[in-house]
Amino acid sequence: MMSDLYRKNAAIIVCNPQGKVLSCQRVENYDFNWQFPQGGIEANETPLEAAYRELKEETGLTQVKLIAQYPQPLRYKFSDEIIEKFKKLGRNNIGQEQYWFLFLFSRNDDEIDFKTNPQEIEFKAFEWIDITEAPARVVDFKREVYQKVCAYFKPFVSQQKKQSS
């Protein structure tokens, strides 16, 4: 079945009241290694439940408010290198099917903690950036999806800035 080849995934854009979004730098040292938090959806979870869980596991953030959801899942294919790595691990995924969410975080940056899940630390740094910058910072095979979601969520992020000023 073709849909089984795409791993179900929840992806999260976190914005702040200043109209910036949280960009996280992956621990691996390669070019374009900034991305939004994301992770697999478990069998017993809804995409939204997975988004809250993954956000907590990857960033420590729990005090967030759901602002918007992208209207349908989006897919991207992994690079050949990643597909080969997964085959060696016994996984047959060729890409991800992502359900995208936008959350508002209006508390202190010191709540961001990449070590909440010490066995699986994914990020080493973060920056608050303009949402239009995110697609240029991500690995190329994710770029088209990032362009779509960033364009879709930009008005919602801008609205947060207007409401806080």
Contacts of 146 (CB under 8 A, 6+ apart): 36, 134, 135, 138
Q: What is the pLDDT at residue 157?
A: 97
**What is the tens place of the pLDDT at every residue in 17-41?**
999 999 999 998 777 799 999 999 9
When pLDDT is averaged across residues 96-111 and rounded to a whole number, the result is: 96
Q: What is the pLDDT at residue 2?
A: 56
Q: What is the pLDDT at residue 148?
A: 98
pTM: 0.93
Q: What is the pLDDT at residue 31?
A: 76
Task: Name the pLDDT band for 98 (thresholds 50, 70, 90).
Answer: very high
Per-residue CA distances from 110 to 1, 127, 132, 141 (Å): 44, 13, 25, 31
Cα gap 117→56, rounded to integer Å:
9
Is residue 119 predicted with pLDDT exceeding 80? yes
**What is the tens place of the pLDDT at every residue in 124-164?**
999 999 999 999 999 999 999 999 999 999 999 999 988 87
Q: Compute the CA torsion angle 150, 151, 153, 158 (nearest 10 deg).
A: 110
Q: How many CB atoms lie within 10 A of CB 87?
A: 12
Question: Shortest CA distance to 70 belongs to which of 8, 154, 134?
Answer: 154
**DSSP conformation class of 94:** -
Average pLDDT, the chain: 93
Q: What is the pLDDT at residue 117?
A: 81
Helical spans, DSSP H, in 15-164: 47-59, 80-88, 134-137, 143-164
Contacts of 66 (CB under 8 A, 6+ apart): 48, 101, 102, 103
Q: What is the pLDDT at residue 3?
A: 59
* Phi then psi dihedrals of residue 37, to 5 deg: -60, 145
